[in-house]
Amino acid sequence: MYKLTVQLPPFSPDYSGVCSALFELGGLLLIHDASGCTGNYTGYDEPRWYGSDSKVFCTALREIDAVLGNDDKLTEKILEAMEALSPRFVGLMGSPVPTVIGADLQGIATEIESRSGIPAFGFSTTGLQLYDWGISEALLALSRRFVRPDRAKTKGTINLLGATPLDFGTKNFLPHMKGELEARGLEVSACFAMGSSLDDIAESASASVNVVLSAGGYGLARYLFSRFGTPFVVGQPLDGILADDLCLMIDRAERTGESQIPGPASSENGEVLLIGEHVTMHSLARRIVMESGKTVHIGCPFRRIGEISGPGTFDLPSEQSIAESLSRGYGSVFGDPLYRGLMKDGGNYVEIPHVAVSSKLYWNDPSPILGDGLSHLLKGVVLS
C-alpha cells in the first residue's frame, strides 16, 4: 500500500514513455489494451496529440480475445493497418491486461516484421512502471535498429538525448536549450526524439558528443559510447552560465574521447529541496550552489543517475515519501505545482510544471527556470 496516492494523480506510465519517444518518427504505435490506456496517453500524457497526424492506435483488446489468447487476430489487424498507413516501423506496447495473460508482444512483433518486411518492435511495457523506463527502452530500440555505424565524426556536432514533452513540455524548454548551445557554435545533429526525423537519427553516429538531457536518455548515451565510441556529457543549459559550463565539458569530451559526468550537486544537509526529473534538478542544483552557496537536497520520484547522485540525493517512490520530505522545514522547495498540496506548512515554493506529474493542467505553461529568469528567480526566492 506504500504506493497509494490520495492527492496526486498517477504518474505517466511506461507505455506513455515509449509513445512519447517515438511519436514524431513516422511509426505505427499500438497500445495493446481495451481503450483505457490509449486514451490515458493521448488525452493526458501527450501535448502534441491534438491536431497531429501521428499514428497512435488502440488494439481494442476484448474479453474473449484475452480469454482465448487470440494473437492471430491481432497480427492480422496490424498488418491491415500497415498496408493502409505505410509506417516506417511498428511499435507494439503492452498494458496491464496483456501482462496478466502473458501476451508475447516481442513474438508478435517478430512475426509482423517477418511477414511485412517493416521493422517492428515489441516493448514489454506493463503500465506498472514509469514513463522514463519506457523512454529509455524506446530510444535504445531505435538506435540499435536504425543508427548507421559507418559515419565519420564531425567536429562541433552533438546529439541531444532523452527529450520528450513528458519532461520538457512543448513550449520554451527544449528550444531554449538548443538555442543556448547553437549560440556557442555547436550544431545539433539529432534530438532523441523531438524535432528530428528518423533519417536524422539514422545519421546521428556522426556527432562528436552526446548530451544527456534527462535520465531517460542516459542508457542510450552509454550504449552509443560502447557501440560507436561517442563520449557523452550530462546536464542542461538552463541559462548562459550553465551553457558555458556544459560547453566546456563538451569540448573536453570531444578532445579526449572521454565522457564528462559532473560531480554530485547535493549535500548531506540541505537548505533547499528540489523534486523532479534528475538531470533537470541536478542542473538546477548546480546553479543554486553557484548563485547562493546554499546546500541542496534532490528528491527523485523517477529514476536517477548514480554517477551524479550525492549524499543529499534520494528516491521518492511514493506520495507518502514526497509528503514526508516536504515536512522537513526547507527554506525553499522547487517542484511540480501539484506537490505543493502535500506541504503542511507554508514557505517558498517555486512551481516547475512536469507533464509526467500534472499532465494538461500546466503543460502549456513556460518553464520559469530558463535564461535570465532563472537568475532573477534564485535571487528572489533562494536568497530571500
At 60 the pLDDT is 83
At 35 the pLDDT is 78
63 pLDDT higher than 80: no
What is the DSSP track for 27-55?
-EEEE-SSSHHHHHIIIII-TT-TT---E
369 pLDDT higher than 70: yes
pLDDT band at 171 (very low <50, low <70, confident <90, very high): confident
- 144/35 Cα distance (integer angstroms): 30
Contact 25, 133 (CB under 8 A): no
β-pairing, 90-93 with 55-58? unpaired
DSSP SS3 for 250: helix
Mean pLDDT for the stretch of residues 261-285 = 95
pLDDT band at 262 (very low <50, low <70, confident <90, very high): very high
Mean pLDDT for the stretch of residues 356-363 = 95
Amino acid identity, residue 22? L
- Among 15-24, 64-73, 107-116, 236-245, the minimum mean pLDDT is found in 64-73
pLDDT band at 344 (very low <50, low <70, confident <90, very high): confident
At 69 the pLDDT is 65
- 325/337 Cα distance (integer angstroms): 16
SS3 assignment for 189-209: EEEECCCCCHHHHHCHHHEEE
User: How far is CA 144 from each of CA 88, 192, 227, 254, rounded to the nearest angstrom?
Assistant: 15, 13, 9, 23
At 33 the pLDDT is 87
Higher pLDDT among residues 260 and 382, named by residue = 260
Residue with cell 549560440: 183
At 240 the pLDDT is 94
- 334/332 Cα distance (integer angstroms): 7
Mean pLDDT for the stretch of residues 185-197 = 95
pLDDT band at 266 (very low <50, low <70, confident <90, very high): very high
| Buried b / exposed e along 137-159 (16+ C-beta atoms within 10 A) | bbbbbbbeebbeeeeeeeeebbb
At 201 the pLDDT is 97
- 31/125 Cα distance (integer angstroms): 9
286 pLDDT higher than 90: yes
Mean pLDDT for the stretch of residues 45-70 = 82
Contact 330, 307 (CB under 8 A): no
Amino acid identity, residue 252? R
Q: What is the mean pLDDT of the chain?
A: 93
DSSP SS3 for 350: strand
- Give the DSSP H/E element, type plus range, for residue 299: strand 296-300
At 274 the pLDDT is 97
Residues of the chain above pLDDT 70, percent: 97
331 pLDDT higher than 60: yes
Spatial neighbors of 35 by CB under 8 A, at least 6 apart, are 58, 60
C-alpha of 64 from chain center? 35
Q: Per residue in 179-188, pLDDT tens?
A: 999 999 999 9
How crowded is residue 36: how many other Cβ atoms within 10 Å of its Cβ? 13
At 68 the pLDDT is 64
5 pLDDT higher than 90: no
Handedness of CA 84, 89, 90, 91 (dihedral sign): negative
257 pLDDT higher than 90: yes
At 30 the pLDDT is 95
At 370 the pLDDT is 93
How crowded is residue 327: how many other Cβ atoms within 10 Å of its Cβ? 12
Higher pLDDT among residues 171 and 230, named by residue = 230
Q: Per residue in 67-120, pLDDT tens?
A: 666 778 889 999 999 999 999 999 999 998 888 888 889 999 999 999 999 999
In the chain, the domains with their CATH numbers are: 14-129 (3.40.50.1980), 148-256 (3.40.50.1980), 272-381 (3.40.50)
1 pLDDT higher than 60: no
367 pLDDT higher than 60: yes
- Among 69-78, 124-133, 375-384, the minimum mean pLDDT is found in 375-384
How crowded is residue 82: how many other Cβ atoms within 10 Å of its Cβ? 19
